[in-house]
């Protein structure tokens, strides 16, 4: 437990940031799952629409500092590659 005033404040700030980061991460994971579900269902239109929703959410998560920008770029790249591969095979 924190014993100094500054350490108590740091603890409060960390708790708030943890909750905010968890919210952002959960939102990002959910939109990624939507893209995966659309790909698994074989629906090209739904997959493309879900990807269009997912890309800004992932970028926003990175811009807030929840994940690294290269991590976000990698996630977007992999999702886009999977959607494009599905469309090319059809």
Tell me if 87 sits within 8 A of 49, measured CB to CB. no
Domain span including residue 63: 5-89
What digits encode the pLDDT tens for the residues 45-68?
A: 999 999 999 999 999 999 999 999
Tell me if 44 sits within 8 A of 90, measured CB to CB. yes
CA distance 82 to 84: 5
pLDDT above 90: residue 25: yes
Q: Looking at the 3D structure of the chain, how many domains does it have?
A: 1
Q: Record the pTM.
A: 0.89
What digits encode the pLDDT tens for the residues 79-88?
A: 999 999 998 8
- What pLDDT, on a 0 to 100 scale, did the predictor assign at position 34? 97
CA distance 45 to 83: 10
Using CA atoms, how far residue 35 sits from 17, 19, 22, 61, in Å, is 27, 25, 20, 17
- What pLDDT, on a 0 to 100 scale, did the predictor assign at position 38? 96
* 17: CATH: 1.20.58.110
């Amino acid at each position: 437990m924190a014993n100094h005033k500054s350490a108590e404040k740091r603890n409060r700030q960390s708790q708030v940031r943890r909750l905010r980061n968890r919210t952002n991460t959960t939102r990002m994971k959910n939109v990624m799952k939507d893209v995966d579900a659309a790909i698994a269902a074989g629906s090209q239109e739904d997959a493309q629409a879900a990807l269009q929703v997912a890309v800004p959410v992932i970028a926003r998560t990175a811009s807030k500092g929840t994940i690294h920008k290269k991590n976000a770029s990698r996630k977007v790249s992999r999702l886009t590659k999977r959607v494009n591969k599905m469309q090319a095979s059809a």
